[in-house]
Amino acid sequence: MTIHLSLIIFLPLLAGFIALVMPARWAASFATAGAFVTLAYVLIALFRFKSGQGLQFVTDDDWIKELGIHYRLGVDGLNLWLIVTTAFLWVPITVIAAVRDWDRPRLFFFNLMLAETAILGVFCAQDLALFVLFFDLTLVPFYFLIGAWGGENRVQATTKFVIYTLAGSLLMLAGAVALGVLATPPEGQISFSFADLSQRSLPAGTQNWIFLLFAAAFLVKAPAFPLHGWVPDTYRATPIPVLIGLSAVLSKLGVYGFVRVVLPLLPDASVHFQEAMMLIAIVSILYGSALAFSQDETRLVVGYSSIAQLGFIILGIFSLDPKGVGGAVFQMVNHALVVAPLFLVIAVLANRVPAGNSRLSAMGGLATRAPVLVALLLIATLATLAMPGSGNFAGELLILFGAFNTKFVYGLVATAGVALASVYMIRFFQRAMHGREGAGVQSRDILPVGPDLATITPLIAVIVALGVCPQIVLSKLDAGPQAKPSEQVAQR
Amino acid sequence: MTQLTAPHIDYQGMAPLFALLGGSIVVLLASLLRSRFVHRTLVPALTVITLGAAIGLSIWNWEPGDTKPIVEGALAVDTLSLGISIVCYVAGIATVFLSLRSLALRTAGGGEYFTLMLGSIAGMNVLASAENLVVLFIGLELLSIPLYVLCATEMRKRVSLEAGLKYLVIGSVGSGTLLYGLAFVYGATGATDFSAISSAIGDKVSATDPMLLTGIALAATGLAFKCSIAPFHTWTPDVYQGAPTPVTAFMAVATKAAAFAVFLRLFVEAFPDVQPTWSNALAALAMVTIIVGNAAAIPQRSLKRILAWSGVAQAGYILTGVIVATQIGLQAMAFYIAVYLVMNMAAFAVVIARERVSPAGDDISSFEGLGRADPWLALPLTIAMLGLAGFPATAGFIGKFYLLRAAIDGGWDWLAIFIVIGSVISLGYYLKVVAAVWLGPTTVAVQPADGAAMRRLARVGGWSPEAEGRAQPEVLAVAVIMGAAVIVFGIVPSPLLNAAGDVGTALQNIFA
């Protein structure tokens, strides 16, 4: 059986379409089934994937010949685990969405599945134009998901989110077109395929301005320090299932773009801007940590901690060191896996403290009443703060190795960021679970209710498994050819 | 005694034009019959048949890479003129359907209305194929004069009359400026044929001759009026808002298409040696247009005004094709114009459907909650807005991609960045419409079912008393077909790209 990546990408959309046309009461079931089938197919692909053999399961067709755009998909050691993570996380996302009531459920689930299709498309794309297309397409479902089913100030939040991210994406569109056109040799055929583009080269000056266009898109999406203005409103307003998709997976598109597009295609510029990007990464780490520490709103604690975590990932990428880049990719997976249970727990907590509006100050003292929940949250918390024995520990260690290898000072400062993570995460855990019982806390049952437990537990199990044996992932992870722009530059 | 020889007439090449002119006469004569059937059915049907025949004859003439001069070189039959004309014909057919139940049609009389429209389309045909200054001007006037009248066809409405008058006055200023410029060009070069002008420049007259440059500048100004390029765009929002909406839709798409075709043809064929000068000037205009159009659209509440300002901004994008003046630029422009047609027609069709039943007219409040009340209208509008904003999976994305490629390929990197910045600003109003449709307040005034309430609503709105809720299948059909086309051409753009590629072969002496 050959693996068709198109199937992986468009299965969710198909399920979404079915959900759209069938009666409303079945919408959730079809969407969930679609997520499961996609995951199953992705797992088959995972087992058939052979490490160290470069790009596999390649689909390559001319899509728009006149513009040099190929419909080219492929999986290699870089995107394999991101695809798996996306397909895996979409299962709990659809499950917890299915147990909630939504106004206009058919449209909701259609958008939710369209989001999965778009995200998988970005990860699978092996053509720059296709990459940009899927990258921008992700905004359509998220715009509607946040705007139509969000909480307070949803329209304002979604507008801000989309304008921020699309401003970046459109700049990237210009950058992508420029990259394709300017890299075309005289008499050569224009092409946006990564394979063709990596054979061609651009003068360093041109690379620099194109780099800035791409960086704008990817840093907004991440989000990184100066471009994170959309974070608070969006994290407050987004419904929990959608927020998991946004925080765990959507935020990885930007950093993935750095590894997939920027490092290999703009090697001179990557070296040129290395320190600037590492500086942004460091500031993001410190700034995100400080804000995460001072938030009362639990969603924002996790939201700002994401800024810090993605700062680490950016740091690893721009260490331009194979270890650092590999660690960054591994950390993308880890972060996605820990964010999901954190938000699921927040959703449970919000149910137990209904008057609290998911604020920390209204919580507390849940530990004795809900021991299972506490244990699960503790594991997620410890993983987030990169306790030795967690996947995050391995990831951050690799990142720091990379940073120390190339820019010692940045590595040193970033190490402080590791300590900061424990400060804000432990504060979050303590305030939510220990201390005096909050005024509005209602905790009648010891166990979290069925669907919550059923979604959180597998996630925690995977986190533990990765912590015990990160080699499962690392053996098939390979950011190799992408990771060494400095060598590429040296070769010229 | 010199012998006068009549020019050879190529009937095949002129067939679309003959069809249009013949059709318009038939339509006018048919409407003299007073039967209800003739007015309601026969006249629109004849108009559609005429336009359909013109499309067929254009396809018959379609030969890529071949320019056939006809009427002693006054007109050119090539893929550029044919392609742009087809865009105008399609816009015309859509307009017929959109007009069927409009008030304008009743007050103006069907025959006159459609005859004027066909006359205007004939003008577009002439304009798009003009190879001579005089013919260019004739084409422009043939296009414009019927439109002045069409704008004022809702004779009992102040705004419609005002729109007609405004368009007449400003349009005449534009035509006058153009004519003045053409006279200067003729004065400097002594020729009216584009090719003769081109060979005179650098030979008889230097490329920096002040008289020639003045002429070019004035001609560009005159054409900029027609394309609504800033700072000559000020008539656009008022006229678009005041004119009967089907006429607005027609004007927004077809006039612009024809004007851009002649813009490119005149500048590339007649003034190739002056290109460095005019391309810089036009680039500055494009920049101003993109910023002005997008910024001014944001505070608008009337959807027709939003579309008008968006049309101004889009004109700035399309102008890129003229500025770069390369084959890719021409192709990108042709593609974008075709895409622009479907996106705008979809949007205007929804506006028409809504304003006939909503007391708020085309105000954005009459679109609030449309996603819940009538998804079949909401979807085309949403798709059109996302397409105009350049979202992926719509034809607008491919169009913008193509334009950016043309700009960067021609060395206009900063113009590409400007297009992108303009698109970012444009989100401010395109998303406002989408938000109103889908994310607005959930209490929707779902259309009342009984006829009396409908008629009352319609009277309050001041629109066609015939319009009754969803009893406008033809408007809905236009909206859905055009909306679907935006998606289809966004996913399978190749047929349209092939056609645009053919159009790109039209101008022989285009740069590289």
* DSSP H/E element including B69: strand B68-70
Selecting from B404, B428, B494 the residue whose C-beta is nearest the C-beta of A173 gives B404
* Nearest in space to A314 (alpha carbons), one of A407, A179, A428: A407
* Cis geometry, peptide bond prior to residue A223 (ω within 30 degrees of 0): yes
**At which residue do the structure tokens 């026969």 appear?**
B42
* Interface test with chain B among A144, A170, A209, by most B beta carbons within 10 Å: A170
Determine the Cα–Cα distance for residues B295 and B310; give it in Å rounded to an integer.
Answer: 9
Determine the Cα–Cα distance for residues A251 and A307; give it in Å rounded to an integer.
Answer: 10
Least Cα separation, residue B413 to chain A (angstroms): 8
**Residue A468 neighbours by CB under 8 Å, 6+ apart:** A389
Burial A42-80 (b: 16+ CB within 10 A, else e): beebbeebeeeeebbbebeeebbebbbbbbbbbbbbbbb
DSSP state of B448: P
Burial class (CB in 10 A: 0-12, 13-18, 19+), B481: middle
Per-residue confidence in pLDDT tens, chain A, 492 aa: 677 888 889 999 999 999 988 888 888 889 999 999 999 999 998 888 887 777 888 888 888 888 888 899 998 888 889 999 999 999 999 998 888 888 888 899 999 999 999 999 999 999 999 999 999 999 999 999 998 888 888 888 888 898 888 888 889 999 999 998 888 887 778 888 888 888 888 888 889 999 999 999 999 988 888 888 888 889 888 888 999 999 999 999 999 999 999 988 998 899 899 989 999 999 999 999 999 888 888 888 889 999 999 999 999 999 888 888 888 999 999 999 999 988 888 888 777 776 666 777 777 777 777 778 888 888 888 888 888 878 888 888 889 988 888 888 888 888 888 888 888 888 888 888 887 776 666 655 555 567 778 888 888 888 888 888 888 788 777 766 555 665 665 555
Which 368-387 residues of chain B touch chain A by CB within 8 A?
372, 386
* Interface test with chain A among B294, B439, B502, by most A beta carbons within 10 Å: B439
DSSP state of B132: B
* Interface test with chain A among B424, B437, B443, by most A beta carbons within 10 Å: B424
Q: In whole angstroms, how far apart are CA B270 and each of A227, A229, B231, B267, B332?
A: 48, 51, 24, 6, 21
Strands (E), A9-98: 56-64, 69-75
Contact A66 B501 (CB under 8 A): yes
Contact B424 A155 (CB under 8 A): no
Does the pLDDT value for residue B511 go beyond 60? no
Q: What are the φ and ψ backbone dihedral angles of B4, each rounded to 5 degrees?
A: -85, 130
* Nearest in space to A418 (alpha carbons), one of A446, A391, A396: A396
**Residue B293 neighbours by CB under 8 Å, 6+ apart:** B230, B233, B309, B310, B311, B312, B313, B314, B315, B316, B422
Residue B408 forms contact with A (CB below 8 Å):
yes
Determine the Cα–Cα distance for residues B356 and B92; give it in Å rounded to an integer.
Answer: 21
Determine the Cα–Cα distance for residues B487 and B502; give it in Å rounded to an integer.
Answer: 22
Helical H segments across A184-230, by residue range: 194-199, 204-221
Contacts of B435 in chain A (CB under 8 A): 147, 155, 158-159
Residue B417 forms contact with A (CB below 8 Å):
yes
Percentage of residues of chain B with pLDDT beyond 90: 50
Does the pLDDT value for residue B334 go beyond 60? yes
Beta-carbon count within 10 A of A464 CB: 15
Contact B435 A155 (CB under 8 A): yes
Contact B428 A66 (CB under 8 A): no
- Given a contact cutoff of 8 angstroms between Cβ atoms, the answer to whether B346 and B384 are in contact is yes
A interface toward B at CB cutoff 8 Å? 64-67, 103-104, 129, 132-134, 136-137, 139-140, 143-144, 147-148, 154-155, 158-159, 162-163, 166-167, 170-171, 173-174, 177-178, 180-182, 190, 209, 213
Selecting from B419, B423, B439 the residue whose C-beta is nearest the C-beta of A148 gives B439
* Nearest in space to A211 (alpha carbons), one of A180, A175, A177, A187: A175
Q: Which residue of B has its CA nearest to A179?
A: B408
Q: Which residue of B has its CA nearest to A206?
A: B413
Least Cα separation, residue B421 to chain A (angstroms): 8
Least Cα separation, residue A104 to chain B (angstroms): 9
Residue B401 forms contact with A (CB below 8 Å):
yes
Q: Which residue of B has its CA nearest to A192?
A: B405
* Nearest in space to A341 (alpha carbons), one of A379, A394, A368, A294: A379
Beta-bridged to residue A125, according to DSSP, are A73
Amino acid, res. B39: H
- Given a contact cutoff of 8 angstroms between Cβ atoms, the answer to whether B131 and B268 are in contact is no
Q: In whole angstroms, how far apart are CA B229 and each of B221, B225, B312, B318, B404?
A: 9, 6, 6, 10, 19
Contacts of B431 in chain A (CB under 8 A): 143, 159, 162-163
Contacts of A148 in chain B (CB under 8 A): 438-439
- Residue A419 has what pLDDT? 86
pLDDT digits (tens, 9 = 90+) for B295-312: 999 999 899 999 999 999
Contact B393 A133 (CB under 8 A): yes
* Nearest in space to B235 (alpha carbons), one of B175, B298, B164, B285: B164
Determine the Cα–Cα distance for residues B207 and B228; give it in Å rounded to an integer.
Answer: 28
Determine the Cα–Cα distance for residues A357 and A352; give it in Å rounded to an integer.
Answer: 10
- Residue B445 has what pLDDT? 46
Question: How would you classify the pairing of strands A56-64 and A69-75?
Answer: antiparallel
Q: What are the φ and ψ backbone dihedral angles of A445, each rounded to 5 degrees?
A: -100, 150
Contact A133 B419 (CB under 8 A): no
Selecting from A163, A167, A177 the residue whose C-beta is nearest the C-beta of B404 gives A177
* Nearest in space to A346 (alpha carbons), one of A330, A357, A335, A333: A357
Contact A178 B408 (CB under 8 A): yes
Q: Write out the two tokens for A200.
A: 């061609």
* DSSP H/E element including B68: strand B68-70
Domain ranges of chain B: 11-504
Q: Write out the two tokens for A109.
A: 């689930």
Burial class (CB in 10 A: 0-12, 13-18, 19+), A324: buried
Q: Output helix, strand, coil percentages for chain B, rounded to the nearest 5.
A: 75, 5, 20
Query: What's the ipTM?
Result: 0.88
Q: How many CB pairs lie under 8 A apart between chains A and B?
A: 95
Q: Write out the two tokens for A120.
A: 């998988």
Least Cα separation, residue B417 to chain A (angstroms): 6
- Residue B71 has what pLDDT? 77
Contact B424 A167 (CB under 8 A): yes
Q: Tell me the mean pLDDT in the region B235-239.
A: 91
Determine the Cα–Cα distance for residues B466 and B487; give it in Å rounded to an integer.
Answer: 32
- Given a contact cutoff of 8 angstroms between Cβ atoms, the answer to whether A112 and A13 are in contact is no
Least Cα separation, residue A159 to chain B (angstroms): 7
Least Cα separation, residue A168 to chain B (angstroms): 9
Q: Which residue of B has its CA nearest to A158?
A: B435
User: How long, in residues, is chain B?
Assistant: 512
Residue B393 forms contact with A (CB below 8 Å):
yes
Contact B398 A162 (CB under 8 A): no
Least Cα separation, residue B365 to chain A (angstroms): 16
Contact A148 B498 (CB under 8 A): no
Does the pLDDT value for residue B264 go beyond 70? yes
Determine the Cα–Cα distance for residues A238 and A183; give it in Å rounded to an integer.
Answer: 40
pLDDT digits (tens, 9 = 90+) for B434-456: 988 888 664 444 444 445 555 54
Domain ranges of chain A: 273-480
- Given a contact cutoff of 8 angstroms between Cβ atoms, the answer to whether B409 and B310 are in contact is no
Contacts of B413 in chain A (CB under 8 A): 178, 209
Contacts of B417 in chain A (CB under 8 A): 171, 174, 213
Contact B408 A132 (CB under 8 A): no
- Given a contact cutoff of 8 angstroms between Cβ atoms, the answer to whether B494 and A64 are in contact is yes
Per DSSP, the three-state class of B75 is strand
Contact B390 A170 (CB under 8 A): yes
Determine the Cα–Cα distance for residues A174 and A167; give it in Å rounded to an integer.
Answer: 11
- Residue B510 has what pLDDT? 62
Determine the Cα–Cα distance for residues B155 and B160; give it in Å rounded to an integer.
Answer: 7
Does the pLDDT value for residue B137 go beyond 90? yes
Beta-carbon count within 10 A of A212 CB: 14
Residue B506 forms contact with A (CB below 8 Å):
no
3-state secondary structure B251-313: HHHHHHHHHHHHHHHHHHHHCHHHHHHHHHHHHHHHHHHHHHHHHHHCCCCEHHHHHHHHHHH
pTM of the model: 0.91
Contact B493 A64 (CB under 8 A): yes
Determine the Cα–Cα distance for residues A317 and B99; give it in Å rounded to an integer.
Answer: 59
Does the pLDDT value for residue B460 go beyond 70? no
- Given a contact cutoff of 8 angstroms between Cβ atoms, the answer to whether B261 and B203 are in contact is no
Per DSSP, the three-state class of A434 is coil
Contact B494 A166 (CB under 8 A): no
Contact A159 B435 (CB under 8 A): yes
CB-side neighbour CA atoms (13 Å) of A44: 13
Contacts of A190 in chain B (CB under 8 A): 405
* Interface test with chain A among B294, B397, B420, by most A beta carbons within 10 Å: B420
Task: Give the lowest-confidence range in A315-319, B80-84, B369-373.
Answer: B369-373
Q: Which residue of B has its CA nearest to A162?
A: B427
Residue B412 forms contact with A (CB below 8 Å):
no
The C-alpha angle with vertex B372 and arms to B367 and B376, in degrees rounded to 5, equals 80
Q: Which residue of B has its CA nearest to A185?
A: B409
Question: For residue B386, how far is the Cα from the chain centroid?
Answer: 19
Amino acid, res. B114: F
Contacts of B327 in chain A (CB under 8 A): none
Contact B431 A162 (CB under 8 A): yes
